[in-house]
Amino acid sequence: MKRLLRLGAPTVGTVLLRLAQLTVLLAFARLTEGETQHFLVTGFGVLASFAIISDAGGAPFLLSLRPERHSLQTFGRVLALQGGFALLGPVAFFGFAILIAPDGIATPHFFVLIALSLAQAFDTMARTAKSPWLVQRRDHLFAFPDILNGLFKMALVGLALLVGSVDLVAAVMLVSAIAFIGTFLVVRRGLPEQTEREPKLARRVLEIGVTGMLSSAYSQTPMLFAAGMLPLEVSAVFAVTYRIVQALELLPATATVQLIPRFRSLDARRVWMLFTGVGVILAVVLILAWPIVTEVFTIEVPLEYVVPIALAFALKCGNYSVVAYLLSSEKVRQRLVVTVLTGIFAVILVPSLILAAGPRGLALSAPIIEVVFLATTIIILRTTMRPLRRKGSE
C-alpha cells in the first residue's frame, strides 16, 4: 500500500497543479467582465504555449542520467542553462500580450498575466531542480513540492475569489518562486561533489529541449492562431475549452508514460484502440457536462465548438499511446519527423481554416491535426520497416 501511495504521489501533485490552473481561469472568468475578461482568459489560455519555448530540456536530461552521474557541478550547470531559457517564455509572452491587449500595458490587470508567466518559468525550474529525486526512486519527495505548490495556489486564488480581487492572483508567482528556491536548496544538499565534467552537456540538454518543443508545437498551434486572428471574445471561448481539455489530457499522458517500459510485450493496435475508446467515453462525458462548465465559468461556449475539440481529445488519447510506442521502440528520430511534419501541416491548416470558416474552422482544425498525426506516423513506420522486411526475406 505504501509503495502504491509513493508511486501515485507524482500524479497527485500534477493533478493539484492542474486544478490550481483551473482556479486561476475561474477567477478571471468570475471577477472580470467585458474586454478585460476576454483579454485575461485568452492570455491565460496561450500561456501554456509560451512555456514550451522556456523549457531547455533540463528535467528530462537529468532524468536520463544514471544516479552516479548526478553531481553538484552537473546540477548547477543544467539549472543555469534552464534558468536562461526560462526567461524567454515571459519575455516572449510580454510581447504577445501587448499585441492582443485592448489598451496595451494600460489594460486592467495586464501585469497579473505577466506575473503568471513568471510563475510558469519558476515552475519549469522547479521541475528541473527536483529531477534527481525521481532518479533516486524517491517519488514521494519528487511529488512534495508540486503538492504544496498546488494547495497554496488554490488557497490563494480561493482568497482572491472570496475578497473579489483579481490582482491577488499575481501572488501565485511568489508561491512558485518559493517552491523552486526551497526545492533547489534541499536537492543541492544531497548531491555529491564530482571533479569529472559531464561531456557536451549544453548540446545534449538543448537537443532534448528542441525535440520536446517541436513535439508539442502542433498541439499549441490552434490556440496561438485563435488569439492572434480572432476577436478576443471568441478566442476567450476557445481558451476556456482548451484549458479544460488540457486538464483531462493528464489521464492518458500519465498512463502512457507508465506504459513505455512495458510496451514491447503489448499489442500496439489493441493499446491504441483501448486509449481511443477511453478517450471517446471521456469526450462524451465532457460534452454532456458542458452546460455545467458554462455555468461555472460564466462564458458561453457553443457546442459546435466543443464537439470537434472533444473529438480531437479522443483521438489524442490514442495518439499518446502511439508516442509511447515510438519511445519504447527507440524510434526517437521517427517521432521527431512525425511531429515536425504535423507541425508544418498545422501551421498551414489552422490559419487557412480560420480565414475560410472563422471560429468553426478553428474548431474543426483540432481533430484534423490529430488524424494527420496518426496517418503520418503509420506512413513513416511502414516506410522505415519496408527495407528491414526486404533484408529479412533475402
Domain boundaries, the chain: 1-220, 249-394
Dist. CA 106–CA 251, nearest whole Å = 39
Dist. CA 103–CA 110, nearest whole Å = 9
Length of the chain counted residue by residue: 394
Task: Report whether 353 contacts 310 (CB < 8 A).
Answer: no
Global pTM? 0.83
Consecutive H or E run containing 102: none
Query: Each residue of 263-316: pLDDT tens digit?
Result: 666 777 888 899 999 999 999 999 999 888 888 888 888 888 999 999 999 999
Cell of 248: 483531462
Whole-angstrom CA distances from 274 to 165, 189, 271 are: 45, 44, 5
SS3 164: coil
Query: Each residue of 5-64: pLDDT tens digit?
Result: 666 677 788 788 888 989 999 999 999 988 899 999 999 988 877 776 667 677 777 877
Query: Each residue of 106-163: pLDDT tens digit?
Result: 888 899 999 999 999 999 899 888 888 877 777 778 788 889 999 999 999 999 999 9
Q: Amino acid letter at 70?
A: H
Dist. CA 301–CA 6, nearest whole Å = 39
- For 285-293, the CB contacts below 8 A with 24+ separation are 286/244, 286/245, 286/248, 286/310, 286/313, 293/240, 293/244
Whole-angstrom CA distances from 286 to 29, 222, 241 are: 19, 20, 10
Dist. CA 165–CA 157, nearest whole Å = 9
Q: Amino acid letter at 262?
A: R
Dist. CA 335–CA 327, nearest whole Å = 8
Q: Amino acid letter at 292?
A: I
